[in-house]
Amino acid sequence: MREILLGGVPRRGLVLLSILLALLVALPIVVNDYLITVLILILYFAYVGQAWNLMMGFAGQLSLGHALYVGLGAYAAAALYVHYGVSPWIGLGASIAISAAAGAIIGFLAFRFGVSGVYFAILTIAFAEFARIGFDHWSWVGGSAGFFLPVANYTRSDLWNLRGSPTMFYYLMLAMTVAAFVLCHLLLRARVGYYWLAIRESPEAAQALGINIFRYKMYAVVLSAAMTSLGGVVFAFYYNNLFPEQVFHISRSIELILGPIIGGIGTLFGPIVGAFVLTALAESLGEIMHAFGIDIPGIKQVFYGVCLLVVVMFLPDGIWPPLSKALGLDGKRIQGGDKPGKSDTGGGG
Amino acid sequence: MAALLELSSVSKSFAGLKAVQDVSFSVPEGSIVALIGPNGAGKTTCFNLVAGVYRPDAGEVRLGGARIDGWRSDQICRAGVGRTFQLVKPFAGLTVMENVIVGALNATAGVREARQKAGEVIEQLGLGPKLDHMASSLTLPERKRLEVARALATGPKILLLDEVMAGLRPTEMDHMVAVLRELNARLGLTILLIEHVMRAVMALSAQVIVLHHGEVIASGPPAQVTRDPAVLECYLGEEAV
């Protein structure tokens, strides 16, 4: 077990990872409520970014509609809770099933009929838009007026019904982020991980080596959708309100993928680093502006744009690859030559 | 010897262009057969028909007696056909080891076993020193060897090699010839190769099949085929004969 979990990880990396984890566990003791909410946001983006990264970074399938799975997961668990009093811990089963089914339908339509690359990405946007318009008109879950979870002041946190303080949500999100990280780490070291990377690098060569590329691409889409939907469940119970125009909107899908892109597509730490950098910087920027009495609407989006621009221009592989090299954590892969790897990951074909 | 691979009256057209026309030949188990012919003769199309990239318009492809035409290329690989691509397709963002592990997983139960097998194949092809190098950093001759290593790691009954000698220096070619000979002699691996380099064809193959305009125009031992007037004509032109 030890070898399966830790094989190939440099010792220095383990030490740093343990310190980081200990720090994150201890953090709520020292920081105030505002910082906790920022940290929840960071962990949320790290988690859903990891889920998206599994599909794009590992298997090379570009999704620009991941808000679909967030929304379906959020609405499914919230509706079961509001209408039938079902605990989100049970409701998440429905969230996973519905999102996985949606992913399977999109994957089947695309991969069965040879839709790939940007055309696949457009298909994912289309389905997220269908959902947005559909939920706008579905009165059982509030339609465009929004769907609300009952809010009350709780004297203590109720983990079973996910009602409670930000600190509870913080630990929940932390656990999910760690679990997603470990899962992705294990998948990458298994048959399925090797097959995904092969498909990402060259689908034809992968198929010639005996890989059923349809099946493995389906695994990636379904698993990514299921993981993302769990992020949606937490989203619903944390914010207590859902509006189709917000939840399913394409800007949500874009926001969700910025973390892994800036952190480093296809790396395990990229989504985490990216989420941290983006959210922390965006929030502190907001605070600084606020302190100076400046209020510019949309400044956060402008800031995201600038971050993306800087990374694309100066760190085309994202922040993590050069950062891991600087920390001495990049293992023993030898780049050599004049052209670094990942030559065709960006295309998503 | 029984035929391991058998093509009977296989044809394939692309928008009216007859790339392969009524081609029949067989590759006996344990043999090395070369497929030669001028550019555009239909050699690579033949390979792609065998490997499942294309479905033949007519005719049958049999592997060990069972029909495989119409199968997907991954199914054909699992049935025992390993192939390399003329234009090499390494997994550029992965290391040499990881590239070959992907191939080895086809014939092994898990990653640990695949890693071991990949290591052996990499040594066999002299890529040992490049184990942890990214495939994108390899030179063309190294990439060709990686193609062979990856295909070989799938544990094929027959290996289809598409111009793996092209671009190799004479010493590198001798090494490749020696490796292929050893695989054939030691493991009884059947090899079908497309090759332009006659030195390699002569050194390796017991039988040569010559394609021209999508049709088989000659076949037999190399020495005999290279004296065949029809073969000389298609390579050198009518006046030369």
User: What tens digit of pLDDT does each residue of B165-206 get?
Assistant: 988 889 889 989 999 999 999 989 999 999 988 888 988 999
Judge contact between B23 and B7, C-beta under 8 A.
yes
A293 contact partners, CB below 8 Å, separation of at least 6: none
Q: Distance between CA B106 and CA B117 in Å, rounded?
A: 11
Beta strands B81-83; B158-162: pairing state: parallel
Nearest to A266 by CA among A345, A322, A348, A192: A345
∠ CA(B44), CA(B46), CA(B48), 5° rounding? 70
Query: What is the domain-level CATH number for residue A89?
Result: 1.10.3470
Closest residue in A to B152 (Cα–Cα): A209
Q: How close, in Å, is residue A337 to chain B by CA atoms?
A: 4
Tell me, yes or no, if A349 comes closer than 8 A to chain B by beta carbon: no
B134 vs A194, A211, A333: nearest CB: A333
Comparison of pLDDT for B97 and B15, the residue scoring more: B97
Residues of A in contact with B73 (CB under 8 A): 207-208
Residues of chain B in contact with residue A213, where contact means CB-CB under 8 angstroms, are: 74
Give the phi and the psi of residue B214 in degrees, each rounded to 5: 80, 5
User: Of A49, A44, A104, A52, which is closest to residue A74 (Cα–Cα)?
Assistant: A44
Structure tokens at B145: 């060897």
Which pLDDT does position A155 carry in this prediction?
67
What residues make up the domain containing A262?
A: 2-326
**Which residue carries 């979990």 as its tokens?**
A5
Inter-chain residue contact B91 with A202, CB threshold 8 Å:
yes
Q: Is A130 on the interface with B (CB under 8 A)?
A: no
| Residue A344 vs residue B63, higher pLDDT | B63
Assess if residue A225 is contained within a domain: yes
Asked whether residue A339 is assigned to any structural domain, the reply reads no
Determine the pLDDT at residue A339.
39
CB contact under 8 A, A205 and B150: yes
pLDDT tens string for chain A (349 positions)?
A: 555 666 566 778 888 889 989 999 998 888 888 899 999 999 999 999 999 999 999 999 999 999 999 999 999 999 999 999 999 999 999 999 999 999 999 999 999 998 988 999 999 999 999 999 999 999 999 999 999 998 866 667 788 888 888 899 999 999 999 999 999 999 999 999 999 999 999 999 999 999 999 999 999 999 999 999 999 999 999 999 999 999 999 999 999 999 999 999 999 999 999 999 988 888 888 788 888 887 777 777 787 788 888 888 898 889 999 998 888 777 667 765 443 434 333 333 3
Q: Which residue has the tokens 């010639």?
A: A208
User: Which pLDDT score, from 0 to 100, does residue A347 have?
Assistant: 34
Give the C-alpha separation, B147 to B161, whole Å: 9
Partners of B95 on chain A (C-beta within 8 Å) are: 333-334
Place of tokens 């555009």: B40
Q: Which structure tokens are listed for A294? A: 């400046």
- Judge: A333–B136 Cβ closer than 8 Å, yes or no: no
Please report, for chain B, the start and end positions of each structural domain, with discontinuous segments joined by +.
Answer: 3-80+156-240, 86-140
Q: What is the pLDDT of residue A45?
A: 97
Distance separating alpha carbons of residues A247 and B139, to the nearest angstrom: 49
Give the residue numbers in B contacting A (CB under 8 Å), as ranges: 51, 53, 72-74, 77-78, 83, 85, 89-95, 98, 101-103, 105-106, 110-111, 114, 132-138, 150-151, 154
CB contact under 8 A, B74 and A213: yes
Q: Is A74 helix (H, G, I), strand (E, B) or coil?
A: helix
Count the helix, strand and coil residues of chain B and give each as a percent rounded to the nearest 5. Answer: 40, 25, 30
* B16 token code pair: 């009216």
Q: Do A210 and B77 touch (CB under 8 A)?
A: yes
Q: Using the 8-state DSSP alphabet, how is residue B239 labeled? A: G
At what angle are helices A213-239 and A67-84 packed, to 10 degrees?
50
Within 8 A of B154 by CB-CB distance, chain A residues are 209-210
Distance CA A185, CA A322 (A): 20
- Cα A320 to Cα A341: distance, rounded to the nearest angstrom: 14
For residue A55, give the nearest of A163, A200, A194 by alpha carbon: A200
CA B197 to chain centre: 14
The three state secondary structure string of A169-235 is: HHHHHHHHHHHHHHHHHHHHCCHHHHHHHHHHHCHHHHHHCCCCHHHHHHHHHHHHHHHHHHHHHHH
Nearest CA distance, A117 vs chain B (angstrom):
18
A335 falls within a domain: no
Q: Residue B11 burial by CB count (10 A; 0-12/13-18/19+): exposed, middle or buried?
A: middle
pLDDT of B237 strictly over 80: no
- What ipTM was predicted for this assembly? 0.92
Which pLDDT score is estimated for A336?
55
Give the up-direction half-sphere exposure of residue A260: CA atoms within 13 A in the CB hemisphere.
28
* Residues B71 and B81 sit within 8 Å (Cβ to Cβ): no
Distance, CA of A64 to CA of A56 (rounded, Å)? 10
Question: Which of B72, B76, B91 is the best mutation test for A, with the most CBs of A within 10 A?
Answer: B91
Superfamily of domain B3-80+156-240: P-loop containing nucleotide triphosphate hydrolases (3.40.50.300)
Q: Is A270 exposed, middle or buried (0-12, 13-18, 19+ CB in 10 A)?
A: buried
Pair of tokens at residue B126: 């002299």
Q: Do A209 and B106 touch (CB under 8 A)?
A: yes
Q: Distance between CA atoms of B57 and A227, rounded to whole angstroms?
A: 44
- Beta-carbon contacts of residue B198 (< 8 Å; ≥ 6 apart): B36, B226
- The CA distance from A314 to A157, in Å, is 45
How much helix, strand and coil, in percent to the nearest 5, is found in chain A? 70, 0, 25
**What is the Cα–Cα distance from A8 to B97, expressed in whole angstroms?**
14
Q: Quick check: B132 and A332 CB within 8 A?
A: yes
What is d(CA A160, CA A120) in angstroms, rounded to the nearest whole number? 38
Count of domains observed in chain A: 1
Instruction: Establish if A89 belongs to a structural domain.
Output: yes
Q: Is residue A334 part of a domain?
A: no
Tokens standing for residue A335: 């780049």
Amino acid A250 reads I
Helices (H), chain B: 43-51, 73-79, 96-104, 111-124, 140-153, 170-187, 198-204, 222-225, 229-236
State how far the Cα of B91 lies from the Cα of B99, in Å rounded to an integer.
6
Which residue in the set A194, A209, A343 is minimally distant from B136, CB to CB? A343
CA-atom Rg of chain A in angstroms:
20
- Inter-chain contact B154–A210, Cβ cutoff 8 Å? yes
Q: Sort A303 into a burial class: Cβ within 10 Å, 0-12 / 13-18 / 19+.
A: middle
Pairing of strands B207-212, B32-36: parallel
Nearest to A53 by CA among A272, A344, A349: A272
CB atoms within 10 A of CB A165: 13
pLDDT of residue A292: 84
The answer to whether position A333 is within a domain reads no
CB neighbours of residue B16 within 10 Å: 5
